[in-house]
Amino acid sequence: MIDVLNIGLAGLILGLALWSIVAREAFAAVAGFMAYGLLLTLVWVQLHGIDVALTEAAIGGGLTGALLISAATRLRSTEAAARAERPGAVVRWLAAGVSAAVTAALAVGVLALPVPAPTLAPDVAAHIAVTGVGNPITAVLLAFRAMDTLLEAIVLLFALIGVWSLAPDRFWGGRPGLRQHADPNGILAYVARVLPPIGVIAGIYIFWVGADHPGGKFQGATIMAAMWLLVMMAGLADAPPISRTWLRTLLVAGPLVFIAIGVVGVVTADAFLAYPAGIAKPLILVIEFALMPTLTLILGLMLVGAPKRGPLP
């Protein structure tokens, strides 16, 4: 019975992947991609990767979907011209050939993996007690492979700088996006008043349980960013000008705290990002607490986009 479900799920995902690629309209392709992300979440649940499932639902399906929708809306006026342009036969065959070659290489790579696949899971299980956290995913992300998480946070910051750099010179330092005007008595303003208190609690809860159960700062920060975006979309609050000192301080605070603790580790524990024995858990908490606001701001501001209004006098 469960096999039938899994095969159906896999078939649906392949169908949606195909649909996202062949759909002529960008908006339809994005809709297919978002449904694909949600079904992928179910696959991760079936594989017992609840942490990955949460991340996929929040970032893969939700945040990326919203980013792609705004991109598709912006590209709508150019779509007719893009569709009229038909690449030559050589280009199309070349593209098909390269795509098929990449797929074949990936398939060979996956099929060539030894059975059972090489795993570090027993090592993690053996040493998780040292870190003080109960969730092995959190232990890997913040202790055993902390470098990857640090680089991820920095990459996100660079991505936001990339978005901001699209601003025209005269708007530099101004507020990102356009001022939203919604009916103050409308349904959107109502939800933007009712939902954020619940959402903020859910975000903090998911962030906090990450130490021992599936959850963590990325998933929690995505929920917090979504609540912030809702309030901004309903016109109840405006995005802060990107020149604000508090904003820039919070944006770099997370990675800086992470790096500082890493450098201290060189002295106290003989390696960059190593934690001295006994206080690993408090240090991990400090890093998580510092990263949470940084990630919330980065994810929210990335969706609002580049500054579109001049700096305030």
- Residues near other proteins (CB under 8 A) are 187-188, 190-191, 194-195, 198
User: Any residues with CB less than 8 A from the CB of 40 and at least 6 apart, and which?
Assistant: 13, 56, 60, 61
Instruction: Answer for the pair 176, 307: CB distance below 8 angstroms, yes or no.
Output: yes
Of 140 and 192, nearer to other proteins (C-beta) is 192
As measured in angstroms, the least distance from the Cβ of 57 to other proteins is 13
Output DSSP code: residue 41: H
Of 206 and 273, nearer to other proteins (C-beta) is 206
Of 8 and 168, nearer to other proteins (C-beta) is 8
Instruction: State the DSSP string of 84-111.
Output: H----HHHHHHHHHHHHHHHHHHHHHHH
As measured in angstroms, the least distance from the Cβ of 89 to other proteins is 37
As measured in angstroms, the least distance from the Cβ of 201 to other proteins is 10
As measured in angstroms, the least distance from the Cβ of 303 to other proteins is 18
As measured in angstroms, the least distance from the Cβ of 49 to other proteins is 20
As measured in angstroms, the least distance from the Cβ of 209 to other proteins is 12
Strand partners for 177: 307
Of 154 and 182, nearer to other proteins (C-beta) is 182
Q: Give the total residue count for the chain.
A: 313
* Closest to 141 in 3D by CA, of 55, 67, 248: 55
Of 235 and 293, nearer to other proteins (C-beta) is 235
User: Any residues with CB less than 8 A from the CB of 272 and at least 6 apart, and which?
Assistant: 147, 262, 263, 265, 266
Report CA torsion sign: 165, 169, 174, 176.
negative
Count other C-beta atoms under 10 Å from residue 12's C-beta.
14
Of 179 and 193, nearer to other proteins (C-beta) is 193
Rounded CA separation 83/75 (Å): 12
